[in-house]
Amino acid sequence: MPTIAERLKALRNERGFTKRQLVSYIPINYSTYANYESGFREPNSEVLQILSHYFDVSTDYLLGFSESRQKADDVAALTANEYAHIDMYRRLDSHGRDMVNTVMRKELERMDYGIDDL
């Protein structure tokens, strides 16, 4: 499980910022943030929310509890039809799920999307 220090460093690097550049955009001083990235300190819940908002990821992702960066608010944006599809998919056995996954992959290929594009 990745640590919050590893996640913060990776997210900052994805933006191409130094630590000093990053803290100029968020209300956290440099030494405090540097301690988060080095693993000497962990942010409290208020700071987790600030970092989650800034990097546009869930707090579970920051804490290493989830590989999904998606926030709960993003998930709540599903339509009723999407929820129904998820419910039906969950009721399938492994063969049914494999079939659905195969059809989705083939349709994405037909539409010229790669699986990695999602």
- Model confidence over 23-36: pLDDT tens digits? 998 999 999 999 99
Question: Residue 115: its pLDDT value, please?
Answer: 55
Question: Residue 73: its pLDDT value, please?
Answer: 61
What's the number of CA atoms in the CB half-sphere (13 Å) around residue 90?
6
Instruction: Report how far residue 45's alpha carbon sits from residue 82's, in angstroms, rounded to the nearest whole number.
Output: 32
Smallest CA-to-CA distance from 35 within 58, 19, 18 is with 19
Taking only the tens place, the pLDDT of each residue in 49-107 is 999 989 989 898 999 888 877 766 655 566 777 767 887 888 889 999 999 999 988 88
Instruction: Report how far residue 27's alpha carbon sits from residue 67's, in angstroms, rounded to the nearest whole number.
Output: 26
| Domain architecture of the chain: domains with CATH | 4-75 (1.10.260.40), 80-117 (no CATH)
